Amino acid sequence: KRKLDPEDEAPRKIHEIGHGQAVAAHYNELQEVGLEKRSQSRIFYLRNFNNWTKSVLIGEFIDRVRRKKSDITVLDLGCGKGGDLLKWKKGRIKKLVCTDIADISVQQCKQRYEDMKARCRYNEHIFDAEFIQADSTKDLLSSKYNVPHMCFDICSCQFVYHYSFETYEQADMMLKNACGNLSPGGYFIGTTPNSFELVKRLEASETNSFGNDVYSVKFEKKGEYPLFGCKYDFHLEEVVDVPEFLVYFPLLEQMAKKHGMKLVYKMTFREFYEEKIKNEEHKMLLRRMQALEPYSTFGDSKLVSDKPDDYEHAKEF
Ligand code: SAM
């Protein structure tokens, strides 16, 4: 038996284990950045805009559930370091289960929750929380982690679902985890890149990639877009440098039907912004979250960045 050179072995390993471990390793390594440094970032407004979008979306679906019941339970699928914890606190939910493939992120998310809890004033409400490290494209959360009591009103999957479209089995398992434990009338909400926009830009480019000095997207080739495993490398300054997969939304919609789901709505970020900004509260939140360039107004189109391309890379849900 020939001792394999690690270089030889690498491609086989990726094939065997999929890209999940690479994704987990990447997110585990991301450093948490303080507020001051974050405000100097070139993607400060983009990041804030994404956060505003998630806040409005999450708030809207909490309100929808609250019309029917008061004790709301939520699954945050791909919770990362807990970027949405405050949104759940503001929504006064009862219980949150956070899960992510990256173990260090899950630990940081838990720590963030503990800190939040410790800062709570007397009588201030905070939800109960549980934290689970799992690959939601491969592990069935309810059985592997022995949490049969799991029953959610909302599953929130923010900027995560595209990692599952490596194979049909993975995409279906993530859907099962997202929708399989929803109570009747529950919601699966999320944000994911807009594949139509990605392919349009790729086709318009002379090479296999496109982007600007803040982000880049690189495909292996043009012209062939398989339904699963259509990988591209996404780089965004300070945040992501990992393989992602195109999600063909009509297929996702069909697959979700199998799990008893019905589409409520799907919008691009721009459409969502244009609709939600009509509401005064959302408009004020946008200002408070500094999701607009300081010199821009609501009337013009400078939403996130002075580089229209950054905004155009907006993700779709
Ligand atoms: N949802 C968080 C947010 O909006 O701040 C984090 C989003 S981050 C862009 C993507 C997250 O998806 C990472 O934390 C990553 O570890 C997680 N993820 C990727 N593949 C996953 C999988 N197979 N199972 C669970 N989580 C996964």
What's the ipTM? 0.99
In whole angstroms, give the CA distance from residue 18 to residue 11.
Answer: 10
Q: How confident is the model at residue 103 (pLDDT cuts 50, 70, 90)?
A: very high
Ligand 1, atom 20: nearest CA belongs to which residue? 163
Which value, to the nearest 10 degrees, does the dihedral of the CA atoms of residues 7, 8, 12, 18 take? 10
In the predicted model, what is the mean pLDDT of residues 88-99? 96
Model confidence over 125-150: pLDDT tens digits?
899 999 999 999 999 998 766 655 67
- Higher-pLDDT residue of 239 and 211 is 211
Q: Is the pLDDT score of 308 beyond 60?
A: no
Q: What is the pLDDT of residue 13?
A: 42
**CB-CB contact of 177 with 303 (8 Å):** no
Between the CA of 105 and the centroid of ligand 1 the distance, in Å, is 9
Q: Is the pLDDT score of 244 beyond 60?
A: yes
pTM: predicted TM-score of the whole model, two decimal places: 0.86
In whole angstroms, give the CA distance from residue 95 to residue 105.
Answer: 20
Q: Is the pLDDT score of 273 beyond 50?
A: yes
Q: How confident is the model at residue 223 (pLDDT cuts 50, 70, 90)?
A: very high
Q: Which two tokens stand for residue 10?
A: 């690498």
In whole angstroms, give the CA distance from residue 281 to residue 278.
Answer: 9
The least confident of 70-84, 159-173, 208-222, 233-247 is 233-247
Per cent of the chain over pLDDT 90 is 68
Instruction: Among 17, 19, 21, 23, say which to mutate for ligand 1: greatest number of ligand atoms within 8 Å of CB.
Output: 23
Which residues, in sequence order, are bridge partners of residue 75?
97, 155
Instruction: Among 57, 96, 160, say which to mutate for ligand 1: greatest number of ligand atoms within 8 Å of CB.
Output: 160
Model confidence over 205-214: pLDDT tens digits?
999 999 998 8
Model confidence over 4-33: pLDDT tens digits?
444 444 443 444 456 787 778 777 777 666
Q: Where does ligand 1 bind, in terms of residues with CB under 6 Å?
A: 20, 23-24, 27, 78-80, 83-84, 100-102, 105, 135-137, 158-160, 163
Q: How confident is the model at residue 285 (pLDDT cuts 50, 70, 90)?
A: very high
